[in-house]
Structure 1
């Protein structure tokens, strides 16, 4: 995994979690996102154990906008790394937990039961999401969330890479993008330059390719112009989250910055312009999520064992009365056949519905004398079925003979806080029904998990 073999370097594997089509070939082995993420977790576990001793249990954080396959893949990565993953917590929820704890509010029933709203803007290296949270000292509730698992600081770096390559090619006639080693070295230079531009108004990028050396100067203003559309995408998402919850920016008590990429000055400026308040730096953006996860892990351990040491006791004393309410980050629906548009996704549970949630709707059959009815369950916002995530399906068989076109079918659809989906359908002429509960199928079976655990055990992670 060195500069001599840049093809072996993995970047932004978090974006590929849950993607069954992605893999990398290394030493003749197929490396899946779960396996690659597990090796990262092994390194973290190894470093932590060198400081505090053996680690068995873990809480892992994920972007709120992760769907269930992405979350399941993350859970599998933890197991492959030798961790007992006791919970998966959403990153903005963890950050809010850390924020409210750090301000001395969370778990304080003696304080006034006054609601506050904060906006958690989380721009990391590979993913972005923004979440609106309402909380009191003893309860916090997610009101609205949205995000993009393919937008992050890496995209800002890539814009700078493209700019520098264009400048180099214009002068020397050769392109560093044509050579993997040159491109890797330049990407590292541009990542450093991006970080420097968060501190200084101007910096230089040095390019070494095909025997030619070049220094490219870049100002913060130029960099912000190059990446303005990326930042605008995050602002558009932020406005959507506020609009979806019918909340005016003036109603916010704080805007919390999470993720290392929020260090870019343009981020704070745009958010201040939008919300009218200076974004909070109460917590270090790089540590906020980890701190919240640590608090969450401590309370879980304290509740499970009844004795988790001084830290656990202090946490449980503050947090034993705290409750939370979540929303679903993706819409849930069924595939229907429209006489004009053909097959499309019909949303039954819109995203940002408070959990648990249940709905009931009536549909009609579109065939004469059907022998059975199949319902396909989908996750996603698009009408196009191909653009949605397939959840599962189930069938109602042995329908009565001569059932006419337009016969009513009632569908009940529910989603709980565990991420479990329960759907039932009833043919209302005879009241014949069928139902299914889906806890999302595992991406890897037990045999694959065991094989991967044995495989990673053979690697030395340095």
Structure 2
């Protein structure tokens, strides 16, 4: 097998960088263009060509409808489609064009024999991680793995300190906190660094917080100063948002090196000189900085650290150059941030080291390196269940957040009816107990079960988080001793057919006019469903056991579904039961298995009967209220008893006595 050059790629929201391992075994940045280490994350779709980087950002010649920026922020959710000339395009396809440009640059400088690792924010969920892998596949890169950006940054820091060299002098263990504020995302990670060993203890972050948010606040500040200077009440940002964001970015960079920035802003009412100080900028963005500090404290708590336990504070990402960020961290931590590594280059360099380690395991690295790297789950993995008491859908967490990776957990399901051919379970990521507040990864659908299975037959599903945070699911029928065919249908990600077709588009020469019809064809493609989908029975786990039911781990219902499995969950249930028996008052956290089919899941009381009962109660309440009010009024003012009712504590109303008749 031929040797491969290890390469690391930092696929950033606003800028990208690539690094390699050179012949001496050290990392070095590969220039994206002559004299340029960073590649702007911009893609422009012209009618006859696709351009990437600085040429794509020429605002005077390129309309916004054909230039896509910040695609990395749109990898999941309802807003995952970018619009190019009125046509939708998945965000990972735009990233595919970025990675294709990087691949071409690497091929020109290194030749074809290289393999890469692409970085992802530590707080990226599984859906976004899969989208990054898809983008790499579309570009034609040989991607050996993905790695968390903070982990990569610590690898670069370890290289600088000599922690990654097995021939070096043994070094003491260091507790490192990585504060990673990029252009579009924020991560914070607690890591232990030892000789040739990187161990992540906890991670947290925000996929919607980055330098772009500081730009937006500064743009609003510039707009306000512009209006004040002209004594005008004009909303200039809405007229030319792109211009004001570009000016904000220019001011931000100036304020990183000078306490005051002055420039001419040419708004809708003409040019005007505007001055902004660092304090102005810090005050306008204090709420954003506070968000990062709050998340940082959460990460420290999860790791079991206090600020005094941290040996080194590493700042990663170009946005950490803002003085307001560095000063806030100094005040919070009483630590001076490390400045020995370039925050724009650290992640790419560390990714190259990780690629070197992965290729060394395969025996194909040009320079061997042995490392032990442990990451953690950035989000909890769960399945959708049903509360036995309320029939509300809730999430049962199987693998908790910050659990070391790789890891796996098994759950046993039982068939609902005799001869059942399939089972379906919805898989989620997130910390909430409500399915709608979690990221839906997809549906694990077990199809083509062996014929003749009785009702209550076991089907075992194994959920595995790989070291890179990606999910794999396997199934087996224990009684039959046979693997079951399992289809993990992911939500809001490209299927294999779409991925193949988008790869053809990305690698097709020419411009937008050459593949616009192909884009519409792919986007109009209906979702492909397996033939067994119509025969699928959904399986659910109750979110909590009924108080009247036994809390054992055995399946209690012939129509049941997942029963608790995995040694960890069983041990947790046993410990909870022991606490209950000893009078500690704890209840088991492991639910009893039950399946609720589509037919029974929706049973509720008659809405018309409920309306009648509620209406009757409302009328009775109103009548009682009127009577009490009348009584209180009569106590205070007896003459108000116009109904002449005999009420306790109320004097009878006085009546005029007529004189007797006669002489």
Task: Tell me the TM-score range normalised by the shorter chain.
Answer: 0.7 to 0.9
The structure with the largest alpha-carbon Rg is: 2
Please state whether the residue corresponding to 2:315 is helix, strand or coil: strand
Q: Once structures 1 and 2 are overlaid, which stretch shifts more, 145-154 or 182-191? A: 182-191
CA shift, 1:444, in A, is 3.8
CA deviations 1:114-154 (Å, max 9, x no partner) are 42210111100011101111121022111000111111001
How far, CA to CA, are the matches of 1:454 and 1:368 in structure 2?
Answer: 46
Within-5 A mapping of 1:377-388: 377-388=427-438
User: 2:170 aligns to what?
Assistant: 112
Within-5 A mapping of 1:47-86: 47-54=105-112, 57-86=115-144
User: 1:420 aligns to what?
Assistant: 471
Asked if the contact 2:255/2:277 (under 8 Å) is kept, the reply is: yes
Say if 2:195 is the partner of 1:146. Answer: no
Please state whether the residue corresponding to 1:328 is helix, strand or coil: coil
User: 2:60 aligns to what?
Assistant: 3
Asked if the contact 2:383/2:398 (under 8 Å) is kept, the reply is: yes
Please state whether the residue corresponding to 2:124 is helix, strand or coil: coil
CA shift, 1:199, in A, is 1.0
Asked if the contact 1:344/1:383 (under 8 Å) is kept, the reply is: yes
User: 2:404 aligns to what?
Assistant: 354
Q: Once structures 1 and 2 are overlaid, which stretch shifts more, 64-73 or 410-419? A: 410-419
Counterparts in 2 of 1:204 and 1:79: CA distance versus 1, 3 Å: same
User: 1:203 aligns to what?
Assistant: 261
CA shift, 1:417, in A, is 2.9
How far, CA to CA, are the matches of 1:375 and 1:86 in structure 2?
Answer: 30
Counterparts in 2 of 1:276 and 1:409: CA distance versus 1, 3 Å: farther
Counterparts in 2 of 1:240 and 1:168: CA distance versus 1, 3 Å: same
CA shift, 1:204, in A, is 2.3
Of 225, 230, 239, which residue of structure 1 is paired with 2:288? 230
Root-mean-square deviation (CA), in Å?
A: 3.6
Q: Once structures 1 and 2 are overlaid, which stretch shifts more, 118-127 or 339-348? A: 339-348
Asked if the contact 2:138/2:506 (under 8 Å) is kept, the reply is: no
Counterparts in 2 of 1:153 and 1:244: CA distance versus 1, 3 Å: same
How far, CA to CA, are the matches of 2:88 and 2:459 in structure 1?
Answer: 46
Q: Once structures 1 and 2 are overlaid, which stretch shifts more, 437-446 or 238-247? A: 437-446
Counterparts in 2 of 1:411 and 1:26: CA distance versus 1, 3 Å: closer
User: 1:177 aligns to what?
Assistant: 237
Matched residue count = 443
Please state whether the residue corresponding to 1:117 is helix, strand or coil: strand
Of 293, 317, 324, which residue of structure 2 is paired with 1:266? 324
Of 333, 346, 355, which residue of structure 2 is paired with 1:297? 355
CA shift, 1:368, in A, is 13
Of 279, 300, 309, which residue of structure 2 is paired with 1:251? 309
Please state whether the residue corresponding to 1:65 is helix, strand or coil: coil
Say if 2:260 is the partner of 1:193. Answer: no
CA deviations 1:80-106 (Å, max 9, x no partner) are 222111211111111111111110111
CA deviations 1:327-358 (Å, max 9, x no partner) are 11110112222334821222222110112334
User: 2:386 aligns to what?
Assistant: 337
Please state whether the residue corresponding to 1:10 is helix, strand or coil: strand
Asked if the contact 1:189/1:206 (under 8 Å) is kept, the reply is: no
How far, CA to CA, are the matches of 2:112 and 2:460 in structure 1?
Answer: 53
CA shift, 1:74, in A, is 1.1
TM-score for both structures, normalised by structure 2: 0.60
User: 2:73 aligns to what?
Assistant: 15
CA shift, 1:19, in A, is 4.6
Counterparts in 2 of 1:31 and 1:205: CA distance versus 1, 3 Å: farther
Please state whether the residue corresponding to 2:69 is helix, strand or coil: coil
Asked if the contact 1:76/1:449 (under 8 Å) is kept, the reply is: no
How far, CA to CA, are the matches of 1:37 and 1:413 in structure 2?
Answer: 29
Note the residue ranges of structure 2 that are not aligned, 5 or more in a row: 1-43, 45-58, 513-663
Q: Once structures 1 and 2 are overlaid, which stretch shifts more, 418-427 or 129-138? A: 418-427
Please state whether the residue corresponding to 2:117 is helix, strand or coil: strand
Say if 2:514 is the partner of 1:457. Answer: no
